[in-house]
Amino acid sequence: MNLQEIIQEMESKKSRNMDLDSFRKILDHELPNHRKLSKIQVAGTNGKGSTSTWLSLLLEKSGLKVGLFTSPHLVVHNERIQIQKKMISDSDLERLYDRYRSLFLEKGFTMFEMDLFLALAYFLENRVDIAIIEVGLGGRWDASTALDYRATVLTNIGLEHTEILGDTLEQIAYEKSGIFKTGVLAVCGVEQPECQKVIDQTARERRVPLYYSYLPEVVQKGKRYFVYYLDGVLVFDQPYYQLKNFILACDTLYHLNFRLHYPLLQETIDDFYFPGRCMPLRKRPLILVDGAHNVHGIQALVSTIKTWRGQIYFSVLKEKDALHMIELLKTLKAPITLVNFESDRLYPLKNLGLPILSMDALKKRLQETHEPSLVCGSLYFVAEVMKQFNRS
């Protein structure tokens, strides 16, 4: 099979994961050394990918060889499996898939289970020192929870996937804190008292050493933030919401007894890059893309840009709270146009009462426009726009 055929076969296997015991038994039999691999698990409603990336970069700056497993991807499937910020090559992905394909088909692996299995195989083969593993959906029954960890990290709690995780913050907090394991450090960035109550209870029941992460003193001057943390004052020029993810990553490593010092932290901030989040595709005129795919993400986006002078192009999947997201975007007082992109999960955009464009029309408009443009919403939508620009 060539790579395109492999990706098509993998992406056709989207269903409910097998139970954790069954997945663990397969891993123990096929990849027994996974138990020796040092790992950190990251869950949460928003910020999982960013926090995982911060952890990965901090550990790399500390001199370690770091594996990173995330999902979904933006442009190519290979992005999900990385070592030292370099994604798995086409040839390695083909080789590993061919090796385990019969196992995947026999056991009925989902795409996420295949990706996770291949990531572990790749990390073990390349002898990484530590791996950062991002949860796919929820936490309690996520395939990644079948693994052993040095620490588990919970970024925040918001309403998402309510048809699966529950329709209250407390229910979702219960599902996501299901990653906690007896005796394993847990570090949490959740701020809502009602969610903390559920998380505290889970930690007590499982005898988990739990620490909450809070922002230190921060002073804003212009577009920069001066952060009083540990042994110095850090200059932070990323969006404000990234500051919370950064501190959560730092606090996790601090509680794991990693040595953190000013030069390492500042160098990490200066080198941080996360595609698809407040990311300029073009500077003049500005085209900004942001995969703010739920209410919490749109809130963070709106608070970051605050005054936007230009067009807004938005699209969203049907399981999201599109009406609330639109209301938040309207506070920017800029024209909003909806975009129809190819997905069987697309929200019925005509119900939102705003102008609608096709993807082809959007591409043409972005190529010809002379005013700033913000493209936001579904990660799949943002990824499609990024692909269009990569082809241009």
- Model pLDDT for residues 328-384, shown as the tens digit of each residue: 999 999 999 999 998 888 999 999 999 999 999 999 999 999 999 999 999 889 988
- Distance separating alpha carbons of residues 374 and 287, to the nearest angstrom: 6
Q: Which of 35-49, 87-101, 245-259, 285-299 has the lowest mean pLDDT?
A: 285-299
Residue (of 17, 9, 291, 256) closest to 132 by Cα position: 256
Please tell me the predicted confidence (pLDDT) of residue 337: 96
Average pLDDT, the chain: 92
Residues with Cβ within 8 Å of 147's Cβ and at least 6 positions away in sequence, in order, are 24, 27, 34, 39, 41, 120, 133
289 bridge partner residues: 279, 375
* Close Cβ partners of 113 (under 8 Å, ≥ 6 residues apart): 17, 18, 23, 104, 143
Identify which has the larger pLDDT, 213 or 384.
Answer: 213
Task: Report the pLDDT value the prediction gives residue 96, as an integer from 0 to 100.
Answer: 98
Q: Residue 169 pLDDT more than 60?
A: yes
pLDDT(391) > 60: no
First-to-last alpha carbon distance for the chain, in angstroms, is 29
- For residue 276, the model assigns a pLDDT of 81
For residues 277 and 33, what is the distance between their CA atoms, to the nearest angstrom? 35
Report, as an integer, the average pLDDT of 23-29.
98
Contact 266, 250 (CB under 8 A): no
**How high is the pLDDT of residue 167?**
67
Among 109-118, 164-173, 188-197, the minimum mean pLDDT is found in 164-173
Which residues is 376 bridged to in the sheet? 290, 314
- 184 — pLDDT class (breaks 50, 70, 90): very high
Between CA 62 and CA 186, with CA 249 as vertex, the angle to 5 degrees is 115
**pLDDT for residue 119 is more than 90:** yes
Residues recorded for the chain = 392
State pTM to two decimals: 0.88
Looking at residue 139, its pLDDT comes to 85
- Whether pLDDT at 165 is above 80: no
